[in-house]
Chain A
């Protein structure tokens, strides 16, 4: 009896659907091509997964508060460009360039948050505008060309962010630990902390939250800043790992990240969010991208599968939500 209710409890959780999907995905890809679970493939997949994942974690909190951020992809491209431009021109060390890139990102998040909360413009429009401003700046500053990046070897910043080592046959980058730390920290904030309660209330019923003295605008502005900072950090990590700083990189990431978050079970309309679900959503999309190529489906067909997953998961979540509202 106890056991049965535990299973029912598990099934009713929004993370259950994504978990099942991920397991099926892995099983199917592995059964078609055993290389799918080879150490080399797992290492390669994880390296980029955590970079997008960092953005998705912050986006989960922002979307729970009822907003979203389309400018993350452009910041992913812009921040490393800024860092390398400062460094290559001899103005700053790499580390100072990194801090400068984060500060600029934080400022961009602040502007996003200010437009949304003070001017009451929907975040869709504000961050779409910001996407164009930031991407445009990255292209203008670089004339559209990638920046020189080879001199990062031996810098402690590069070691701390993307230093790699082997655990058995697995090649692990430091960024994996940053991702795990961020997931635990943000999961804690969302479910255990008072701030988490405010984030959910801000997205669920902002007027009620305001009436209880919750600083809804402050919460949202903070989350916009967090989102920009994570996108910037992810861009720098990716750039250091691949030794490239392309002003065009990160194009389209905003939608992939939002897809990861909603597949995981976070409500697009706000009020409900789950970090565990987002981690599953991140893995679902990245495993799909990797597995499709590995089993020989043309990479160009990738989006068909992603779209189908999004639609299927949305149908599942809406069904669960209705059951939830009906009190069963």
Chain B
């Protein structure tokens, strides 16, 4: 079998005495959308933070295409082609779409010593990218991010990851607080990202959103990966819910009848 794009092996992470990740192992193949599911506190955020360089791991190894890497900060992760998209946090609301897309990698017009941004080139690329991710409305690339909707912001962040050839795009709750149409928009951006050769990790509370878009589902519970090869086409939502909570059908029914929370 070919070496996966990303392989995380025996990852442990503890915050003081709290063990957030216990020996978690996880992989993402090329051109694959993986849905990462788990209850609150299952460790999926921590796993993603480790992979995006936001928190250092306590022990374990990360491989990219079979090569061991160390991700000490988010810039490291981006340099290795791992882009994380949190709701809102990755964009500067005061800057335009084009300026956000190229932030930190602005093209320079000659002569170079003038350090002048090539704003025409930035706008042209931005316009193409917006079309590519499927923003149907005709939004000029000079629009500030602050006047875009949540879904459009996600689209800009995804477009940026696609343009700079990120191999892996991590979407942390990308459909939170979005309306129905916007959610469908984001799901289609994710599909177009895969179609142009990127892999994605998709994290969402709404299991139905995950089912609509992913190729494979991975479930975490109490800091461990408890299932990593669930095919959404052959598995029901109820079954996945059962795996997430770690309860049998009967236990879930009883819990609901008792009005107890289901964990």
Contacts and interface: CB of A to CB of B under 8 A. Distances in A.
B89 interface: yes
A195 B115 CA distance: 8
Contacts, number: 77
A200 B115 contact: no
A324 B146 contact: yes
Contacts of B95: 197, 200-201, 204
B48 interface: no
A172 B200 CA distance: 64
28 contacts: A193-B116, A194-B117, A196-B117, A197-B99, A197-B106, A198-B103, A200-B94, A203-B94, A204-B92, A204-B94, A205-B93, A208-B91, A208-B92, A209-B92, A209-B104, A211-B75, A211-B78, A211-B90, A212-B78, A212-B105, A214-B103, A271-B93, A271-B94, A272-B94, A324-B144, A324-B146, A325-B147, A327-B148
Contacts of B257: none
Contacts of A324: 144, 146-147
A8 interface: no
A192 interface: yes
Nearest to A273: B94
Nearest to B54: A211
A197 B103 contact: yes
Contacts of B146: 324-325
Given A211-B74, A214-B103, A271-B94, 7 more contacts: A194-B108, A197-B117, A204-B95, A205-B91, A324-B147, A325-B146, A326-B147
B114 interface: yes
A92 to B, nearest CB: 33
Interface string A187-225: 000001111111011011101111111100000000000
Given A194-B108, A325-B146, A327-B147, A207 B117 contact: no
A200 B93 CA distance: 10
A212 B93 contact: no
Interface of A: 192-198, 200-201, 203-205, 207-214, 267, 271-272, 324-327
Interface of B: 74-75, 78-79, 89-95, 99, 102-106, 108, 114-117, 119, 144, 146-148
Given A213-B78, A324-B144, A326-B147, A193 B92 contact: no
Given A205-B92, A209-B104, A193 B117 contact: yes
B95 to A, nearest CB: 6
Contacts of B106: 194, 197
Nearest to B147: A327
A130 to B, nearest CB: 28
A257 to B, nearest CB: 22
A271 B78 CA distance: 24
B89 A208 contact: yes
Contacts of B89: 205, 207-208
A198 B99 CA distance: 10
A271 B102 CA distance: 16
Contacts of A209: 92, 103-104
Contacts of A272: 94
Nearest to A267: B94
A209 B117 CA distance: 17
Nearest to B74: A211
A196 B75 CA distance: 21
Contacts of A207: 89
Nearest to A207: B89
Given A211-B74, A212-B78, A201 B147 contact: no
A325 B147 CA distance: 5
Contacts of B103: 197-198, 201, 208-209, 212, 214
